[in-house]
Chain A
Amino acid sequence: MSQTSSPTPRIAEIVHGNDVVLFMKGTPLFPQCGFSSKAVAILERLGVEYASVDVLQDMEIRQGIKAYSEWPTIPQLYVKGEFVGGSDIMMEMYEAGELETLVTEAGVARA
């Protein structure tokens, strides 16, 4: 299969164009995977405004984001252009209060 155009510029645009963005399977209303569902629940509990990208609707992003983040799984959370982690790290950070600190210090809008 030949290499198509790089998805990297599109991903960079998404990651830097949103204060908080979650790459997930499905949508916040209808997550298609338990890990994505957990990530959404954490963000809802945190009460931040966030954008979401359904990677199931875009194969280029689905593969591209894994390379971009050097992270093998979905979901993936970005805050202010920085990769934060997947759902396990989100949960650990949430429980430790670190996610709250991160979004507060980043000056992220509250939902």
Chain B
Amino acid sequence: MAMAADEIAAMIRAALPDADVSITDLAGDGDHYAAHVVSEAFRGLSRVAQHKAVYAALDGRMGGVLHALQLTTAVPTSGT
């Protein structure tokens, strides 16, 4: 069981509507991904708390059907 990149991005955006989400399929096998998530919601949070917010968005799939997701998070560097 694996997840499609679109599905991962959609779940993250559903929980963090302002998020800029980029997903890379690392191995081209639909099972090893890297995600970079940029959201204003991360401002003031520790890295651990930022990652936990993304894991919460994935609603239990992380560590389950989604084994291999490299994750990096950031806050937007400039306001628009």
Chain A residues with a Cβ under 8 A of chain B: 34-35, 66, 70-73, 83-86, 88-89, 92-93
Contacts and interface: CB of A to CB of B under 8 A. Distances in A.
Contacts, number: 30
A89 B52 contact: no
Contacts of B62: 72-73
Main secondary structure of the interface of B (DSSP, over half): mixed
Interface residues of B, number: 13
A99 B48 CA distance: 14
Contacts of B72: 88, 92
Contact of A86 (B51, B60, B64): B51
Interface string B8-47: 0000000000000000000000000000000000000001
Given A66-B63, A72-B62, A72-B63, A88 B51 contact: yes
B63 A85 contact: no
A89 B63 contact: no
Centre residue among A66, A72, A83, A86 by max chain B CB count within 10 A = A72
